[in-house]
Structure 1
């Protein structure tokens, strides 16, 4: 009689473990997706704030200064 109850207990334990593993996998996938979305958004914001604007303004200032001086000097002489 004890072996029957033991087998039933092991079966219930296996079913509960399988359900728990499925729930843990679903939660893990959802968490990974949310973290990835936030990483992409932060990467886009950081590139716009610290990457292109600074480097773009540096290059545009250098080009405009060089172009303005060269044109002005050539026109004066």
Structure 2
């Protein structure tokens, strides 16, 4: 009689574990999507706030460094 109850208990445990695994996978997927959305929004905001300053500095550096002096060193 004990082995019957043990088998039933193992079956219930397996079903509950499977349900918990599915729920954890769903929560993980939702969390990944939310974090990705916030990362994209943060990237867009950072590009708008700092993009023009950084690109202006890059352009200034390339203009200064792109003279005859650098061509002569090659």
- 2:10 is aligned to 10
Unaligned residue ranges in structure 2 (runs of 5+): 60-74
- 1:54 is aligned to 53
| TM-score normalised per structure 2 | 0.72
- The runs of at least 4 consecutive aligned structure 1 residues that moved more than 4 Å come to 56-59
| TM-score normalised per structure 1 | 0.69
For each residue in 1:38-59, what CA deviation from the matched residue of structure 2 results, as whole angstroms up to 9, or x when unmatched?
A: 00000011011011x2145555
- What is the correspondence of 1:1-77 to structure 2 with a 5 Å cutoff? 1-51=1-51, 53-55=52-54
- Distance in 2, Cα, partners of 1:36 & 1:2: 51
- Distance in 1, Cα, partners of 2:44 & 2:18: 39
The structure with more radius of gyration: 1
Unaligned residue ranges in structure 1 (runs of 5+): 60-77
